[in-house]
Structure 1
Amino acid sequence: MPISNAAFVRSTIILLMAGMISLLGIVGTSLWLVSKVQVYFAELIEVREVRSSAADLLSTLKDAETGQRGFVITGEANFRKPYDDALKAVAERQKSLEEKAARFPRYAERIPDIRRLVSEKLVELAETVEAVTQGNSSEAVAQVKTDRGRIIMDELRTQLGDIMSDADRHLQEGVIDTLWSAGALQWTTVIGAIAIIGVLGGAAIIVAQYTRDIVVARREVETLNATLEKRVDERTEELIRANQEVQRFAYIVTHDLRAPLVNIMGFTSELQASLGSIQGYVLADEKPPSADDILEARRAASEDLPEAIGFIRSSTKKMDGLINAILKISRDGRRELKIERVDIKALVEAGAAAVNHQVGESDGEIAIDDKLPTVISDRLSLEQVFGNLFDNAIKYQSPDRPLRVSVKARNAGRAGFTIEFTDNGRGIAPEDHERVFELFRRSGTQDKPGEGIGLAHVRSLMRNLGGDIVVRSELGQGTTFVLRLPSDLSKVVRSMQA
């Protein structure tokens, strides 16, 4: 059974909505899981820093105690050097631990006891070292034998050891959570890919059937009475254009949407691989990680993970932009035109005022012809047309000269009016003059943001208004867009309905 235009549009919109829902599901779940991975990893780093600071402080105090005992036993100055060096580092190590532990209440509550014990230990060390320095070695030895220093050191080992043990436990739990999130992200991508591929397959089947129906309709038109030849030619031309648009749409759905999906799947695998380096660093247990392990973990954290996450985000954003662009053009094509009297000069002046500050930044200017006509057309469509043209002129202006834009018109008689929109920007190569009006296609160096829908949208709008748009341009010499616009759209609509 042939597919009607309404059924095709309805089926296409349903499939697009299904694709968008699948995409939004992937995007939302992926962003949530990526956010969890980032939170887990950030907490892992902070917990490891607390553990490292606690270990450093304990090690420094041990060094100070070792130097003290060597100096007390021998009385020689060279045995005192470890004590002096450690003493200089204690304050810095203690400050580092307090700053990093402040982020975690369970560690911060131990800081007052640790601060007190460190102070008492330093006093005990200083008293014995000072006694030896004053020549009272026997007094220093007696103080050491009181076991006061050992008791304080044991309490410090307990406090700092509890922090390190708790940190190790949280590191292990964080790695497990991170690995789970990465696995869930991968499965989300696979399931979403299957859903989108299903949508693509359904769209391809509908497009193929609709295309076959168009071919059949063309053959039937060719058999009509010779007196209908003119109308047959008109309808055939419309069918050819519709066929071409359907084919382009099929290519976009099956190719442009699939490319970002492939990127998402590839970089999800890279994200999984990067976790191996981080796991080797974080789960070092009692064995200190090697320099290579640390380098690999840092490279994964600073380069591989952000790069993979960035590519996943950009790919999902691109897919969302492509689907939204298709829906936007589809909606505009179905919007009922509001036919009214439109002063083109006032409309263009309003569009110029909206971008005047951007033009002024490059000492540019916009010249608007006083003879721009008044037409009977759809105001919103014309506002979008000139808004797009102004935006393109600013986006693609030449960097080596101020921007100059001019808008002028001439009467084309029964054909309506011809409006020329000219800028002195970087221009368009001759081979791209038609390509720039195709959906998602752009010309020249791709150094500006955009999806390539602006001029495709403009042409769609102009044809809905019974007109058209073409371009004259040379690279480096600027661009002129020539708009053909009927003077009275209501007559065009009646003619098409007749």
Structure 2
Amino acid sequence: MPITSTFFARTTILLLAAGALALLAIVAASLWLVDRTGEYTEQVLHAQQTRSASSGLLTLLQYAETGQRGYVITADTAYLEPYELGRTRIPEQLQRLRALFAGDATRLAQIERIAGLADEKMGELTQSVELVRTGRVADAVELVRTDRGKVVMDNLRDHLRELIGQIDRSIQTAAGNTRNSADALSWAVIAGALVIALLAGGSVWMSVRYTQDLVAARQEVQELNFSLEERVAERTSDLARANDEIQRFAYIVSHDLRAPLVNVMGFTSELEVSLDVLQRHVAETEKLVEPGQAIEARQAAFEDLPEALRFIRSSTTRMDRLINAILKLSREGRRTLTAERIDMGTMLETAAASVQHQLQSNDGSIIVEKPVPNILSDRLAVEQIFGNLVDNAVKYLDPARPGRIVVRGREQGGQLAYEIEDNGRGIAPQDHERIFELFRRSGVQDQPGEGIGLAHVRTLARRLGGDVTVDSALGRGTVFRVILPRRADGFAAAPGIAVERKTS
């Protein structure tokens, strides 16, 4: 099933949205995991600091005890250096541990117990050192032998080792959490990359399928266009032949109808002459017969026959105008159009001058707004178009107000638009297209005409490559708009004129 452009657009948008969501999810997960990894890393660093401080405290206590034992045994003050270092640094180390465990009540309680034991141990060490300094070495040795200091030191080792064990376990837990976060981050990135890769693959597949379908559709359209152009060319040729045949048929029929019509009109003229003779004869006969005997003859001679002849005359006259119009349209359809440069301002001024005398009767006016764009087209056809439209505007002015007709022209999208605007009777909306049909008229039929002029105007305009439209409202006036190409296309060229022609 071919992929439609709507389906392609919607699917592409969905894939892009899914890709964007996947990317946002990867970024969000990465940020969260990085944050968690940072927290676990801080926990490891903190635990390492507390372990280092705890181990340092135990080492200082052991150094102090070693220095005290050496001094008691040898009375050599050189052994007091570790003792003095311990006595100075142990309070600092305890304070550091309190700061590191601030906020952890359990650990602070452990530190306080260790601090008490450390104070007790340092007190025992200080007492023995002072005994040696005062020369009471035996008392100092006896104090050591009581094992009071050993018990305190053993308790200190047990508490500090327990604390260090707890810290080691917390370090292991934090390190494990850090590894887990790193692993989770890696898997999240891998999963997100797979999702994006799948979405990208889907987009590529969709694009390839749509492109293939589009290429196939274009090839099919090109083939259809080629066959369509051939069919159009065939139909155009058929229509041109049919149009020529119709025009020839119209010409022949009109010509054949005209011959008997001329006979009918001729015999009608003879009957009119004979009617004068008959009427004189009936008038003279009435003088020779009794009154009332020639009533029927008089009625026939002076009423019935004249009425019948008037009807025949009007009908043949109308038929003669129709046949002449058909012959005119047939000749125009077969006439070869010749392109030449036309000064539209001069042509429209001439058309306006030809109807000026008709407008003077009701104080009317006709104005040609200049400048008017010139055109390269068939002069006779253009003259007939604007001559008919100007005559039509004058013919259907409203006698209730002074007539005003304005003719103007302008460029419009590469073409030329000419307007003939009047303030006449106007045309009903339902008749805007009907007036361009052959033998159709609109409104009150109080003006001579057969309904051929506007049909002829539109036919000529379309032969020139343009069209004629109308915009009108009853009681307000009418605007006829003539759209024509700036340059003739496909016409025969007058001497010295280059004409554009279409190529296929």
Q: Using structure 2 for the length normalisation, give the TM-score.
A: 0.48
Q: Using structure 1 for the length normalisation, give the TM-score.
A: 0.49
